[in-house]
Amino acid sequence: MTAQTQRVGVGRTIPGPRSWPLVGHGLSVLRHGIFPVLERSWRRHGDMFRLDLGPKRIVVIIHPDEVERVLISDRDSYYKGASYDFFRVLVGDGMVTNEGETWRARRRVAQPSFNKGVVAALAGKMTAATETMLGAWAAKLEVGAEFDIYEELLALTMWIIGDTLFGLDLRGSIDRSAEAFTVALEQLSVRGNEMVRLPLHWPTPGNRKLRRALATLDETVHAIIRGRRESGERPPDLLSALLAGHDEHGQPLDDRALRDEVITFFLAGHETTALALSWTWFMLATHPEIQAQLFAEVDAVLCGRTPTADDLARMPYTRMVLHEALRLYAPTWSGARDVLRRTELGGHAVEPGEVVMYLPYFTHRHPEFWDAPEQVRPERFTPEAMQTRHKGAYLPFSAGPRMCIGNHFSLMEGALILAMIAQRYRFSLSPRARVEPQFQITMRPKYGVLLRVDARR
């Protein structure tokens, strides 16, 4: 990809494609989808450009300097406002969408459950769930069989979140909840791209689907909370921490807050990791030489054993492969902040009411920071290379205080699952595979990731 990398001078208007009265660039987005419009604009206008979606002005930033300014050094000028409203329909005021003191109090409650040592203790649950999945694969997958690894990994990561954070055995109910999450996310993505959003109570087919999915999820989540309360048990997990937690006024979290957090963690904690791993296997299936190097490390370190959290420190290549997939296929490919107060960004004034959008997908391909950005090279993630690179150039988990709380959790989970699958299977892309990213709230493989299986042992 060749992009102009020129910086924009102070005082000039922010460049952007030609805009139409009233609709701005909305018609192009409706006709082509948001992604092609963003890609073309980056090529033509460089690292900072504007798009008008109806009356809403979006300022798009790609350069790591500006991204760091918004997420870290000038973060108090921004907040998660109306641009997150469509997501609030699903997760309410959970940790991803909350702001200010309420957010700070919730993060304080949840943070101890995600510290490195606590997360390391969850490795056994993660590998046990993966072992069960692999057992089922062994029974159903013959050599040469083809299957969609994304579906399998979605079920696995949902099971792991249920087990590790909420003490649930989800076997049997995963299908229903996973289906409800998928439907809700799809409908929300459609709503997110609409210039005029009809109220949720209007009986359009999309709204009806969304309302049904939300009812299923609410029912599941309330049952989880009720079940734990009634059991009187308080195992050391996130659900116990939430039930014992307090809000910014020192009051216990109410039922609404608990519902919003449980649904937030279920969603944020499973789909992203399943996507990261599915894209990793797509990358490996199309790069047999990297797959072979991964097998060599996994075999040498584990000698056929189930991995533990401690093993991972001796498996740097496994970690580098995951990072390279997170660079090229960042599940959270875009992010946004509403402007809270007038401030300066890239030499321009941005105003309250405007939205700043940052795009890890493009920042991760910025030619100033990544040599031959489209090439797959796990070596970009040696500790030395990571030390010297601009911190804002690699953002799969975002940056600053709102950085993903689950980053250690998902990197450990991802490495364990990747290693365990690599111990047993070699994959190539099915000749029937049609792997295309779909740029919704997350970057999903539109038609799944259809792989051809070969057993390694």
Q: Does 259 bind ligand HEM (CB under 6 A)?
A: no
CB of 80 to ligand HEM, least distance (A): 7
Both tokens of 87, joined, read: 């997501």
Among 410, 423, 430, 440, binds ligand HEM (CB under 6 A): 410
Radius of gyration (C-alpha) of the chain in whole angstroms:
22
Q: Which residues of 263-300 are buried (b: 16+ CB within 10 A; e: fewer)?
A: bbbbbbbbbbbbbbbbbbbbbbbebeebbebbbebbee
Which residue stretch of 32-40, 368-376, 380-388, 401-409 sits at the interface with ligand HEM (rule: CB under 6 A)? 401-409
Instruction: Tell me the C-alpha distance between 409 and 274, whole Å.
Output: 13
For ligand HEM, the binding residues in 197-256 under the rule CB under 6 A are none
Which residue stretch of 22-30, 248-256, 291-299, 398-406 sits at the interface with ligand HEM (rule: CB under 6 A)? 398-406
Query: Phi, psi (5° rounding) for residue 353?
Result: 100, -20
Q: CB count, 10 Å around CB of 93? A: 18
Coil, helix or strand for 149? helix
Q: Does 402 bind ligand HEM (CB under 6 A)?
A: yes
When the beta carbons of 364 and 426 are compared against ligand HEM, the nearer one is: 364
When the beta carbons of 244 and 403 are compared against ligand HEM, the nearer one is: 403
When the beta carbons of 38 and 326 are compared against ligand HEM, the nearer one is: 326
Both tokens of 263, joined, read: 């649904």
| DSSP-assigned letter for residue 202 | S
CB of 335 to ligand HEM, least distance (A): 5
Instruction: Tell me the C-alpha distance between 361 and 276, whole Å.
Output: 13
Instruction: Tell me the C-alpha distance between 258 and 419, whole Å.
Output: 34
Q: Does 396 bind ligand HEM (CB under 6 A)?
A: yes
Mark residues 327-346: x for contact with ligand HEM by CB under 6 A, - for none.
----xx--x-----------
Q: Does 96 bind ligand HEM (CB under 6 A)?
A: yes
CB of 92 to ligand HEM, least distance (A): 13
Q: Does 5 bind ligand HEM (CB under 6 A)?
A: no
CB of 90 to ligand HEM, least distance (A): 14
Label residue 330 left, alpha or beta by phi (over 0 means left) and psi (-120 to 50 means alpha). Answer: beta
Residue nearest to ligand HEM (CB): 406
> Which element (helix H / strand E) includes 61?
strand 56-61
Which residue stretch of 7-15, 22-30, 269-277, 303-311 sits at the interface with ligand HEM (rule: CB under 6 A)? 269-277
Instruction: Tell me the C-alpha distance between 138 and 289, whole Å.
Output: 25
Asked whether the beta carbons of 331 and 271 are under 8 A apart, the reply is yes
When the beta carbons of 8 and 224 are compared against ligand HEM, the nearer one is: 224
Among 42, 137, 281, 409, binds ligand HEM (CB under 6 A): 409
For ligand HEM, the binding residues in 107-146 under the rule CB under 6 A are 107
Q: Does 273 bind ligand HEM (CB under 6 A)?
A: yes
Asked whether the beta carbons of 33 and 52 are under 8 A apart, the reply is no
SS3 of the chain: helix, strand, coil, percent, to 5: 55, 10, 35
When the beta carbons of 307 and 396 are compared against ligand HEM, the nearer one is: 396
Instruction: Tell me the C-alpha distance between 50 and 30, whole Å.
Output: 17
| DSSP-assigned letter for residue 9 | P
For ligand HEM, the binding residues in 155-184 under the rule CB under 6 A are none
Look-up of token digits 């309330």: 222
When the beta carbons of 8 and 359 are compared against ligand HEM, the nearer one is: 359
Among 8, 14, 95, 433, binds ligand HEM (CB under 6 A): 95
Q: Does 69 bind ligand HEM (CB under 6 A)?
A: no
CB of 303 to ligand HEM, least distance (A): 28
Site residues for ligand HEM per CB under 6 A? 95-96, 107, 264-265, 268-269, 272-273, 276, 331-332, 335, 396-398, 402, 404-406, 409-410
